[in-house]
Amino acid sequence: MTKRGTGEAATMTPPVRIAVVVGGSAVSYGLGILGWGGFAAYFSHPALVALVLAGCVLVGAALFAGGNLSSGEREDRGNRWVLAAFGVLGLLDAYLPAYTDRMSFWTIDGDAIRWLGVGLFSVGGALRLLPVVVLGPRFSGLVAIQPGHTLVTSGIYSVIRHPSYLGLLINSLGFGLAFRSGVGVLITALTLVPLLARIHAEERLLRSQFGDEYAAYCARTSRLIPGIY
C-alpha cells in the first residue's frame, strides 16, 4: 500500500527483485514487439525506440527503489484478486496496443500522439516510483499494516493520498498513446475498476488502524486528482 511508517518490513532479495522487475519488463516489451511484427518493425519508429529507452531507465530506477511484498501485522487478503486483475490487464496492455497500431485498428492519427504517449509514460512511471523511493522497504505491494506503521502525510502525500496509483494510470495511458491505440486507452479505463477497489480497501484498513487521524488526513487531501477526486 502507499502509506508506510518507520517499522521494519520484509524486503525482496536482490535476485528476486531483478527477476520480478527485469523479467516482467522483458515479457511486456517482448509482447509489444511481437504485436508490432518483430524487432525491425518495432524499432523503425523513433518514438517507440524512445519508449523502450524510457522503460529501461524506469526499470533501472525500480531496481534500487526498495519496496516489499510483506503482509505485515495485518492484511486485507480479500483484496488480493486485484493483483491478478492487474496482471491480466498488464498483459493485454503490453500486446494489444502494438497489435492494433500495426493493423491500423481504432488508432489515433498523428505522430505527435506517439511522442505525447512517450512523455506521459515517462512522467507516469516516475510518479509511480516516487513513493517507493520515498518509503523504501516499507512500501508493500499488498494491502497491509506494517510493524510500527505510521502515516506519511508530507511531500506529495500532503496533496494526494495515492500518488503511485495516479502514476500507474498516467503510465498506462502513455503506453497506449505511444501506439496511437484507442484500445490502449480503453485498457487504462478498465484498470480503474481494480484500482479503485484497491484504493477503497487501503483506505478502510488505514481508517480502522488510525481512526480520526486518518479521517482528518482524508478531509484535507484528494485521492488521485488534487481538488477533484
Phi, psi values for residue 88, rounded to 5°: -65, -45
pLDDT for the residue numbered 138: 67
Domains of the chain with bracketed CATH? 14-219 (1.20.120.1630)
pLDDT for the residue numbered 151: 86
CA separation, residue 107 to residues 188, 202, 228 (Å): 15, 36, 29
pLDDT for the residue numbered 8: 41
Per-residue pLDDT of the chain (229 residues; tens, 9 = 90+): 444 343 344 456 666 777 778 899 999 999 999 999 999 999 999 999 999 999 999 999 988 887 777 787 888 899 999 999 999 999 999 999 999 999 999 999 889 999 999 999 999 999 999 988 877 666 778 888 777 777 889 999 999 999 999 999 999 999 999 999 999 999 999 999 999 999 999 999 999 999 999 999 999 999 999 999 9
> What burial class does residue 110 get, using C-beta atoms within 10 Å of its C-beta: 0-12 exposed, 13-18 middle, 19+ buried?
exposed
pLDDT for the residue numbered 6: 37
pLDDT in tens, 59-72: 999 888 877 777 87
d(CA 121, CA 17): 22
**pTM of the entire structure?**
0.91
d(CA 58, CA 4): 22
d(CA 10, CA 136): 11
- Beta strands per DSSP E along the chain: 74-75, 144-145
